[in-house]
Amino acid sequence: MAIKQLSIFVENREGTLVTVTDAIAKAGVDIRAMSVADTNDFGIFRLIVTDIAKAKQALDDANAFVSVTEVVGVAVQDEPGALAKVVKILADNNINIEYMYAFITVSKQFAYVVLRVEDNAAAEKILTEHGITLVTEEDMAKL
Amino acid sequence: MQKKFYQPEAETMPVNEIKKLQEFKLIRQVRYVYENVEYYRNLMDEKGVKPEDITCLQDISKLPFLSKNDLREAYPYGMLATDLNNCVRIHSTSGTTGKRVVAFYTQNDVDMWEECCARAIVAAGGDAGDVVQVAYGYGLFTGGAGLHGGSHKVGCLTLPMSSGNTNRQIQFMMDLNATFLCCTPSYAAYIGESLKEKGYKPEDNKLKAGIFGAEPWTEEMRKDIEKSLGIKAYDIYGLTESSGPGVAFECCEQNGMHINEDHFYAEIIDPDTGEVLPEGSKGELVFTSLDKEAFPLIRYRTRDITVLSREKCSCGRTFIRMHKPMGRSDDMMIIRGVNVFPSQIEAVLLNNGYAPNYQILVDRVNNTDTFEIRVEMLPEDFSDTPKVITKKEKKLQAAMKEMLGINPVIRLAAPKSIARSEGKAVRVIDNRKKMGINT
């Protein structure tokens, strides 16, 4: 159920982000969601893309340092309080969110959020039990 | 039975006979140098020493030292002891620590040197049936020529690869069944890494041993290379100034390098006072070449810090052993007033599970030394959360602090992002030197 995210290590030097984004562009892959976590010395560029295999190959070929991480995709109603509800469910069930970011794409009804937790399966189970819609790889490709 | 010694009569000579031989050769060599090398004659005259004052080995302490500076000053012909017509070869230092030094060889010098290298190959288990891949640089550098010549002397099939073109090294290694690899330890580590990347396991190659030298390396690095190539890794020591690799070599015990004492006389001195230290003391290694004709150096200060041991070796060789140098005093950095050797940093990395791919950056900002170590992280250490990586940096920093006494900034980098070397590795970038700061 979990969706796959590309995590790319980028050193804080000029041009490193260009190499990465260029490789994805040339592979003809679309970016659906992204976030950057950074320190003084390096950043980790996280991406949800339309074709992960193709993007990973292109990045490997460009000598980028990349790994694939599983994350949970959640569809929340595009209305006030919807995200708070999801976060509260997880907190009540002692599931820690390590990081979270939003999809670039929005539909009329939903906003999409990427969650990184320790135990994906547990988070998915709890959220489903509470009637929260999860996003699958297939859903994502259609977005 | 496998041949154990290349020249058993020399390599197993009783110690008292070695000393007698050295005494005879020293007296002869001092006279020869005094007569033929004006530069050294002047040094002796300044000190008030005449060749006839040298009557036994102990008298060597009366003689003046030679340093790399002397050789630079005497460049190019000042140390030459014979007519150029008698010389057949020139080699040169890599110039890693400054201006190059050129050394000359007669045919006898070349033969003696190659025999020393042959002793090293046989001591590492080599014989005429071996295929020796020489991946040291060929050319002015002594590494390629020395092991190449030694391999010929033993009768091995020699693969004169020179350094570089790692794909071709690997192809020939596999296709032509190389059994010995000779190169710098950093290049051996790189070849091991490349083999793994191409999907080869250590047992896929036919290599059984490697002879690695020309730069300092640690025990940890030895284990690393032995594992990645599936071989026994042997150290070899030498300097262009003293002929090249083969001045000392490791035997099957891998416990210190036997110095070819029939050709070289070794002393350990206090690097500050120049005083000769008793056996077993740690100090600077000083060499006197006892047989060289073209470029004979007397009491040459190597800048290498080591210890000598006459303890009996179970391999049967009687030659004195020198420990792996703890680092050249040339390699030593003084950072925030503390002595730091790259070999210490390498040891910490390998002990903490990192590959020996690193770069040391030293600079001075606002009158304070900055000290940074860039280290490649292992692919399996990657995390999608920065705090996991930062934590690893902190852990490595603590280990460095414990070894060095000062705190470096640790910067983990992507795998393969630090340039690999095919010859001597560029480990240190000290920008203070550019500013003319005397370090």
- Interval B231-243: pLDDT, tens: 999 999 999 999 9
Class of domain B1-330: alpha beta
Nearest C-alpha neighbor of B221 from the set B262, B193, B257: B193
Of A39, A65, A69, nearest to B414 by CB-CB distance is A65
Contact (Cβ atoms closer than 8 angstroms) between residue A45 and residue A8: yes
Q: For residue B102, list its beta bridge partners.
A: B92
pLDDT at B417 (0 to 100): 84
Look-up of token digits 């070397």: B421
pLDDT at B438 (0 to 100): 47
**Which residue pairs, CB below 8 angstroms and at least 24 apart, start in B277-283?**
B279/B308, B279/B309, B279/B310, B280/B307, B280/B308, B280/B309, B281/B307, B282/B306, B282/B307, B282/B326, B283/B307
pLDDT per position as a tens digit, B34-67:
999 999 999 999 999 999 999 999 999 999 999 9
Please identify among residues 402-431 of chain B the ones whose CB lies closer than 8 Å to any CB of chain A. Answer: 411-417
Q: Which two tokens stand for residue A127?
A: 């959220």
Q: Which residue has the higher pLDDT, B253 or B346?
A: B253
Collect all residues from A whose CB is shorter than 8 A from any CB in B.
5, 7, 9, 11, 37-39, 41-44, 46, 63-65, 67, 69, 98-99, 116
* Letter string b/e over residues B129-161, b meaning 16 or more CB atoms within 10 A of that residue's CB: ebbbbbbbbeebbbbbbbbbbbbebbebbbbeb
- Yes or no, beta carbons of B384 and A43 under 8 Å apart: no
The residue of chain A with its CA nearest to that of B377 is A65
- The interaxial angle of helices B15-36 and B38-47, nearest 10 deg, is 100
Nearest C-alpha neighbor of B253 from the set B117, B124, B154: B124
Q: State the DSSP code for B86.
A: G
For an interface test with B, the pick among A35, A44, A66, A97 (most B C-beta atoms closer than 10 Å) comes out as: A44
Residue A51 Cα, gap to closest chain B Cα (Å): 19
Chain A residues within an 8 Å CB radius of B414: 9, 11, 64-65
- Yes or no, beta carbons of B386 and A65 under 8 Å apart: no
d(CA B392, CA B371): 18
Chain B residues within an 8 Å CB radius of A42: 386, 389, 411-412
CATH 3.30.2130.10 in chain A, residue ranges? 3-69, 71-142
Q: Which residue has the higher pLDDT, A5 or B329?
A: A5
Helix then strand then coil, in percent of chain B rounded to 5, is: 35, 25, 40
Q: Which two tokens stand for residue B159?
A: 């693969």
Name the E strands within B290-324.
300-309, 321-322
Model confidence band, residue B72 (pLDDT cutoffs 50, 70, 90): confident
Mean pLDDT confidence for B92-96 = 69
Of B382, B385, B413, nearest to A98 by CB-CB distance is B385
- Yes or no, beta carbons of A11 and B416 under 8 Å apart: no
pLDDT per position as a tens digit, A36-76:
888 888 899 999 998 999 999 999 998 889 999 999 999 88
Chain B residues within an 8 Å CB radius of A97: none
pLDDT at B7 (0 to 100): 96
Look-up of token digits 């790994």: A67
Chain B residues within an 8 Å CB radius of A44: 383-386, 389
Model confidence band, residue B436 (pLDDT cutoffs 50, 70, 90): low
- Yes or no, beta carbons of A116 and B384 under 8 Å apart: yes
d(CA B358, CA B317): 37
pLDDT over 70 at B95, yes or no:
no
Q: What distances in angstroms separate CA A11 from CA A70, B302, B351, B357, B374, one per listed residue?
A: 23, 40, 25, 17, 11
pLDDT at B84 (0 to 100): 96
Nearest C-alpha neighbor of B264 from the set B109, B107, B126: B109
Q: Which residue has the higher pLDDT, A120 or B3?
A: A120
Mean pLDDT confidence for B268-278 = 92
Instruction: For domain A3-69, give the CATH superfamily.
Output: VC0802-like (3.30.2130.10)
Chain A residues within an 8 Å CB radius of B390: 39
d(CA B219, CA B239): 21
B379–A contact, CB cutoff 8 A: yes
- What does pTM read for this prediction? 0.71
pLDDT per position as a tens digit, A72-98:
999 888 889 999 999 999 999 999 999
3-state secondary structure of B225: helix
**Regarding the domain delimited by A71-142, which CATH topology (the fold level of the hierarchy) does it fall under?**
VC0802-like (3.30.2130)
Q: What are phi and psi of B95, to 5 degrees?
A: 75, 20
pLDDT at B382 (0 to 100): 87
Model confidence band, residue B264 (pLDDT cutoffs 50, 70, 90): very high
Mean pLDDT confidence for B374-396 = 90
Please identify among residues 229-288 of chain B the ones whose CB lies closer than 8 Å to any CB of chain A. Answer: none
pLDDT at B434 (0 to 100): 64
Model confidence band, residue B98 (pLDDT cutoffs 50, 70, 90): low
- Yes or no, beta carbons of B386 and A38 under 8 Å apart: yes
Sign of the torsion formed by the C-alpha atoms of B408, B409, B415 and B419: negative
Chain B residues within an 8 Å CB radius of A9: 382, 414
Contact (Cβ atoms closer than 8 angstroms) between residue A33 and residue A101: yes
pLDDT over 80 at B410, yes or no:
yes
Q: Which residue has the higher pLDDT, B319 or B96?
A: B319
Contact (Cβ atoms closer than 8 angstroms) between residue B371 and residue B245: no
pLDDT per position as a tens digit, B110-141:
999 999 999 999 999 999 999 999 999 899 98
Which distant-in-sequence residues (6+ apart) come within 8 Å of B319 by Cβ? Answer: B11, B18, B258, B259, B260, B261
pLDDT at B1 (0 to 100): 41
Of A5, A11, A44, nearest to B413 by CB-CB distance is A11
Chain B residues within an 8 Å CB radius of A69: 384
Question: Angle A88-B389-A48 (CA atoms, 0-180°, nearest 5)?
Answer: 55
Mean pLDDT of chain A: 88
Domain spans, chain B: 1-330, 333-430
Chain B residues within an 8 Å CB radius of A116: 384-385
Size of chain A, expressed as the number of residues it contains: 143
Residue B424 Cα, gap to closest chain A Cα (Å): 25
- Count of C-beta atoms within a 10 Å radius of residue A53: 12
pLDDT at A48 (0 to 100): 92
Looking at this protein, which amino acid is placed at residue A91? A
Domain B333-430: give its CATH architecture. Answer: 2-Layer Sandwich (3.30)
Which distant-in-sequence residues (6+ apart) come within 8 Å of B365 by Cβ? Answer: none
pLDDT at B165 (0 to 100): 87
Mean pLDDT confidence for B339-346 = 83
- Yes or no, beta carbons of B411 and A41 under 8 Å apart: yes
Q: Which residue has the higher pLDDT, A104 or A9?
A: A9
Chain A residues within an 8 Å CB radius of B383: 7, 44
pLDDT at B76 (0 to 100): 92
Mean pLDDT confidence for B303-313 = 93
Nearest C-alpha neighbor of B248 from the set B323, B299, B305, B314: B323
Of A43, A63, A67, nearest to B382 by CB-CB distance is A67
Mean pLDDT confidence for B156-176 = 94
pLDDT at B226 (0 to 100): 96
Contact (Cβ atoms closer than 8 angstroms) between residue B232 and residue B180: no
pLDDT per position as a tens digit, B199-210:
999 999 999 999
pLDDT over 60 at B97, yes or no:
no
Mean pLDDT of chain B: 91
pLDDT at B183 (0 to 100): 94
- Yes or no, beta carbons of A46 and B384 under 8 Å apart: yes
Q: Which two tokens stand for residue A36?
A: 């950057």
Of B385, B413, B414, nearest to A99 by CB-CB distance is B385
Mean pLDDT confidence for B382-398 = 91
The residue of chain B with its CA nearest to that of A68 is B384
d(CA B100, CA B128): 36
Model confidence band, residue B330 (pLDDT cutoffs 50, 70, 90): low
User: Following CA atoms B336, B338, B343, B347 in sequence, which dihedral angle do they give, to the nearest 10 degrees?
Assistant: -90
Q: State the DSSP code for B294.
A: S
Model confidence band, residue B3 (pLDDT cutoffs 50, 70, 90): low
Q: What is the DSSP string of B241-286?
A: GGTEEEEEEE-TT-SSEEE-TTTEEEEEE-TTT-PBPPTT-EEEEE
pLDDT at B416 (0 to 100): 82
Residue B390 Cα, gap to closest chain A Cα (Å): 9
